[in-house]
Amino acid sequence: MKRLRIGVLASGGGTNLQALIDSCERGEIDGDIVAVISNVPKAGALERAQNHGIDVFCFPSEGVSREDHEADLVECLEQHRVDVVCLAGYLRVLTPVMINKFPGRILNTHPALLPSFGGKGMHGLNVHRAVLDYGCKVSGCTIHLVTLDVDGGPIVMQKTVPVLEDDTPETLQQRVLKEEHKLYPRAVQLFAQGRVKLDGRRARILET
């Protein structure tokens, strides 16, 4: 079976990228990360990728239109013959330039149980603060496909975590992140196995 060629976009430290790298190296994903791209020159994700011999690229987004920026991303990803694009803390909303080039093939992780606590401004500690302020008893993470509707694409996988009485946004974030690091590679492996089938807005998981 052909190995999945994975491209990763990241803006920050890249802990989810590291989880994907480790899973590929352990043979838990039938694929390889062939390119890591950031819009931030000093993003820790670039160093993580370089440490594992992965090609890295930086296309600074400051002062560049979203469409022109994404045209550079698309060209780089296509040159590396990427099958699936994984967003790993990529803090930019994608435009049709990217989404139309990789329809149903862009994955993102969100630190809450979508459709709750998603959308504009819902990233990082903002999400966990909102979960606690609302008084939720559970939270979790969601791996979903990226569409023009921010955080509104078909859900591939979800995992719940309990919200504890003494939780702070930081402690909840760490517990959710631990599950993200497990769930994201599992979702990518489903794509490597060809087991994700879109049915309207539902992403159905086919049996092996």
Residues with active-site annotation: 110
- Round to whole Å and give the CA distance between 66 and 127: 25
Nearest partner of 200 among 154, 142, 144, judged by Cα:
154
How many helical (H) and strand (E) elements, i.e. helices and strands, does the chain have?
A: 6, 9
Q: How many CA atoms lie within 13 A of 106 on its CB side?
A: 24
- Round to whole Å and give the CA distance between 37 and 46: 7
Q: Are 88 and 62 in contact (CB under 8 A)?
A: no
